[in-house]
Structures are given as structure tokens and as C-alpha cells.
């Protein structure tokens, strides 16, 4: 039977290995996480939770793999002929592996609800853009009635996309904006974004919606307030709605 000082030594070695493996795996997972640059404030909230999950995955990986590999190697039978020790159970251990995961799940549920509240919050000063998804293109409509098949929005603005679909289910997804939302025929769904990065991105449909599903990739331009106003005016003139000017 192993002496308790030997047991303690095993625990210390395993503890150190678990911590080291967690750090290496956590850094590795977060390093290879293929997240594009964040283009809206909601994205950093989502990314933070994403990275927290990566650390949790690293801890679980280290706990399972280190204990398993260490036991395989150190306690292998080798040339020994004696039987291993028989265990009936360990109440402390059983309580620990029930209570700790329960507490972790409750904490993550709480963080998840908070994150959801943050990313779905609707501030008062929103620019509402109506989005129609159809096979296989998008139509955007601005509050002044301007229609466009590309999405142009001003930077540092609270956007509210009010969306529906004309035929089958589509899904609104700009990878730099992270959050996806389905467009459902007969329903109005919405998603909020606060733009904080100017640039050109791509909107794609994230629900396989038929033969030309992949043709739904559409430019998204986040521009300065002045550029946006100029663009809107230009569209208005092109669409022959000068009188709608305001
Ligand atoms: Cu689609």
C-alpha cells in the first residue's frame, strides 16, 4: 500500500502538470481561434465569453488527459505481480466532482444571461434598417425609403436590423459583427449592432437556402457619418425621390 507521503508527491506532480497543461492549451486554443477583427462593440463581449470558454475547455482537457496519461505511465503494472488496491468509494471526491461542475455551470449561465442582455440591448437612438432576404439576394431599406442591395451604414452608430424573408429561411451574418440572426418568412426578427470600425466587410447568408445560397455574399460598408449622408442622398437622387428629402 502506498505511503501517504508518496500519495502527496503524486498529487503535487499532477497538480503542477495540470496547471502547466492548462496554460499551454489555453494559450494554444486562444491563439488558433479564427476570430476576424471585431467590427462592432457587441463583438468584444462575444469574444470575451468565447475565450473564457476556451480556458474552461483547457482546464477540462488538462484534468482528464494529465491524470490519465500520468496514471498509465506511473502506475503501469511492469514487472510487479501484486494486485492494485481496492477502493469502495470516496465520498469527499464524489461530492467535489458533483458540486464543483454545478457551481461552474451556474456561474457560466449567469455570465451567459448577462452577455445576452448586453448584446440584445436596444438603445433609444437606433438607425433602423429593414432587411429582406430572398433567393438569392438581400434588400435593405433605410428610414427615408431609400432601398439598396448593398449594406452601407455609418460608423459609431447603433443599428437595428429589422428582418424578414420573402421565401425561405435565410440568416444574417457578418463575421466581423459575430452575431447571427435568422430571417423567417412571415416573422420580423431583429438584431442590434453598434458599429465601431470603418471598413468593407461581407454579409453572408448562414442558412443553406437553395441552389445559389453562396451567391448571397454581399458587400457591407461601414463609412463615416458624412460619407453615409452623401451616399444616402446619391441613392435618393438615383431612385428619383428628390421630394422625399428631409
Ligand atoms: Cu439565404
Quick: pLDDT tens for 68-82: 999 999 888 888 777
d(CA 75, CA 70): 8
Say what percent of the chain tops pLDDT 90: 71
Neighbours of ion ligand 1 (CB under 5 A): 170, 205, 209, 216
DSSP state of 246: -
CA distances from 218 to 76, 173, 201 (A): 59, 10, 9
Q: Are 41 and 177 in contact (CB under 8 A)?
A: no
| Dihedral over Cα of 202, 206, 209, 212: its sign | positive
User: How many Å lie between the centroid of ligand 1 and the Cα of residue 114?
Assistant: 30
The DSSP letter of residue 121 is: -
- Centroid of ligand 1 to alpha carbon of 206 (angstroms): 7
pTM of the model: 0.79
Q: How far is the centre of ligand 1, averaged over its atoms, from the C-alpha of 183 (Å)?
A: 9
How far is Cα of residue 27 from the mean position of the Cα atoms in its chain? 18
Question: Which pairing describes strands 158-165 and 126-134: parallel, antiparallel, or unpaired?
Answer: parallel
**pLDDT band with cut points at 50, 70 and 90 for residue 56:** very high
Q: How far apart are CA 82 and CA 80, in angstroms?
A: 6
Q: How far is the CA of 96 from the centre of ligand 1 (A)?
A: 47
Distance from Cα 166 to the centre of ligand 1, integer Å: 10
Backbone angles phi and psi of 115, in degrees to 5? -60, -45
- Determine the pLDDT at residue 244: 47
Q: What is the pLDDT of residues 97-156, one digit of tens each?
A: 999 999 999 999 999 998 888 888 888 889 999 999 999 999 999 998 899 999 999 999
Q: Ligand 1 centre and the CA of 133: distance in Å?
A: 7
pLDDT (mean) for 29-33: 91
Q: 25 CA to middle of ligand 1, Å?
A: 37
pLDDT over 70 (residue 45): yes
CA of 201 to the centre of ligand 1 (A): 17
pLDDT in tens, 173-219: 999 999 999 999 999 999 999 999 999 999 999 999 999 999 999 99
Residue 102: beta bridge partners? none
Q: Calculate how far, in angstroms, residue 171's C-alpha sits from the geometric centre of ligand 1.
A: 6
Contact assessment for residue 203 and residue 173, using Cβ atoms and an 8 Å cutoff: yes
Ligand 1 centroid to Cα of residue 137, in Å, is: 7
* Contact partners, residue 121, CB within 8 Å, separation at least 6: 192
How many alpha carbons lie under 13 Å from residue 201 in its C-beta half-sphere? 24
Q: Is residue 2 scored above 60 in pLDDT?
A: no
Distance 204 CA to ligand 1 centre (A): 8
- Residue 201 phi/psi, 5-degree rounding, is -125, -175
CA of 123 to the centre of ligand 1 (A): 28
Backbone angles phi, psi at 36, to 5 degrees: -70, 170
**Average pLDDT over every residue of 84-103:** 90
| Distance in Å, CA 173 to ligand 1 centroid | 10
Separation of CA 202 and ligand 1 centre (Å): 14
| CATH code for the domain defined by 126-244 | 2.60.40.420
Q: What is the pLDDT of residue 17?
A: 96
pLDDT at 153: 95
Whether residue 1 is predicted with pLDDT greater than 70 in this model: the reply is no
Q: For residue 242, what pLDDT is reported?
A: 59
Cα distances (Å, whole numbers) of residue 169 to 158, 163, 164: 25, 11, 9
Q: What is the pLDDT of residue 3?
A: 55
Q: Radius of gyration over alpha carbons of the chain, in Å?
A: 27
| Helix residue ranges per DSSP H, the chain | 4-32, 41-74, 91-120, 225-238
Amino acid at each position: 500500500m502506498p505511503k501517504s507521503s508518496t500519495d502527496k508527491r503524486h498529487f503535487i506532480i499532477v497538480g503542477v502538470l495540470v496547471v502547466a497543461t492548462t496554460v499551454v492549451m489555453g494559450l494554444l486554443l486562444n491563439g488558433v481561434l479564427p476570430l476576424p477583427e471585431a467590427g462592432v462593440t457587441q463583438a468584444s463581449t462575444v469574444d470575451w465569453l468565447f475565450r473564457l470558454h476556451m480556458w474552461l475547455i483547457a482546464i477540462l482537457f488538462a484534468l482528464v488527459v494529465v491524470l490519465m496519461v500520468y496514471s498509465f505511465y506511473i502506475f503501469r503494472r511492469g514487472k510487479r505481480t501484486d494486485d492494485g488496491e481496492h477502493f469502495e468509494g470516496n465520498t469527499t471526491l464524489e461530492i467535489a466532482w458533483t458540486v464543483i461542475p454545478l457551481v461552474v455551470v451556474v456561474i457560466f449561465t449567469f455570465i451567459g444571461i448577462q452577455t445576452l442582455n448586453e448584446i440584445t440591448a436596444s438603445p433609444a437612438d437606433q438607425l433602423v434598417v429593414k432587411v429582406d432576404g430572398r433567393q438569392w439576394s438581400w434588400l435593405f431599406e433605410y428610414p427615408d425609403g431609400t432601398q439598396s442591395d448593398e449594406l452601407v451604414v455609418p460608423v459609431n452608430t447603433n443599428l437595428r436590423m429589422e428582418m424578414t424573408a420573402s421565401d425561405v429561411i435565410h440568416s444574417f451574418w457578418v463575421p466581423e459583427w459575430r452575431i447571427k440572426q435568422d430571417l423567417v418568412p412571415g416573422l420580423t426578427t431583429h438584431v442590434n449592432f453598434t458599429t465601431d470600425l470603418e471598413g468593407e466587410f461581407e454579409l453572408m447568408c448562414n442558412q443553406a437556402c437553395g441552389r445559389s445560397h453562396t451567391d448571397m455574399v454581399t458587400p457591407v460598408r461601414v463609412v463615416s457619418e458624412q460619407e453615409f449622408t452623401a451616399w444616402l442622398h446619391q441613392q435618393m437622387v438615383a431612385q428619383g425621390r428628390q421630394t422625399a428629402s428631409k
